[in-house]
Structure 1
Amino acid sequence: MPEYEKAMRPEDITRLFVERSNVGDAAGVAALYEQDAVMAYPPGGQTVGREAIRALWEKVLANRPRFEPEQPLPTLVSGDIALTSTPPRDGSGARAQVVRRQPDGSWLRLLDQPEFVPPAR
């Protein structure tokens, strides 16, 4: 796996996600997740584990969706766990992620509740 920039602050993950998604780098997106991360997608279901998340993003990114950077809501931090979120475009609810500090000081997603992911075809 290539050496990717690490998220040294919880808020960095969203920026790195947008950068990697917009160049179609599913492995780079998956590298933002812990090995046993859980993503609340597809709707009503879950995708569990970094490898399954990579496979999901490969399908999604094949459609070349464009992600725009968003201003994050304030991050809540308790020790090595943080809650990050961004407001959705329509103003209802929010996308939220639980991230965990790694031994090297970087952060990875543990739980991901996306607002919307373009359908995989």
Structure 2
Amino acid sequence: MPDHERAERPEDLTRLFVERSNAGDAAGVAALYEEGAVLAYPPGRQTVGRAAIRELWERVLADRPRFEPEPPLPTLVSGDLALTATPPRDGSGARAQVARRQPDGSWLRVLDQPEFVAPGS
């Protein structure tokens, strides 16, 4: 796997996700997750583990979607855990992730809920 920039802050994960996705780098996207991470995608399902997340993103990125940065909501940090979130531009709900500080001080995603739709939407 190529040497990728590390997320030095939990907020870096979203920026790195957008950059790597737009570059078509499924391995780089997967590298933002812990080995046993859980991604709530595709909708209604879960993708578990870095290898499965990489396989999923290889399929998604094959269509060359374009991702735009979204302004982050304030990050909540408790020790080595952080909750990050962004409101989608279309106002359709929220995206939320739990990240964990790694032994080297970088951050990786543990839980990722990319498409939470607000009740009544």
TM-score of the superposition, structure 2-length normalised? 0.93
User: % of aligned pairs identical?
Assistant: 84
Write the mapping of 1:1-121 to structure 2, written as runs, cut at 5 A. Answer: 1-115=1-115
Moved over 3 A (4+): none
Match of 1:15, as an amino acid? Answer: R
Match of 2:7, as an amino acid? Answer: A
For the residue of structure 1 that corresponds to 2:3, the secondary structure is: coil
Q: Structure 1 unaligned segments of length 5 or more: list them.
A: 117-121
Match of 1:101, as an amino acid? Answer: R
Which whole-Å CA distance do the structure 1 matches of 2:6 and 2:33 have between them?
11
**Structure with the larger strand share:** 2
CA RMSD of aligned residues (A): 1.0
Q: Structure 2 unaligned segments of length 5 or more: list them.
A: 117-121
Match of 2:8, as an amino acid? Answer: M
TM-score of the superposition, structure 1-length normalised? 0.93
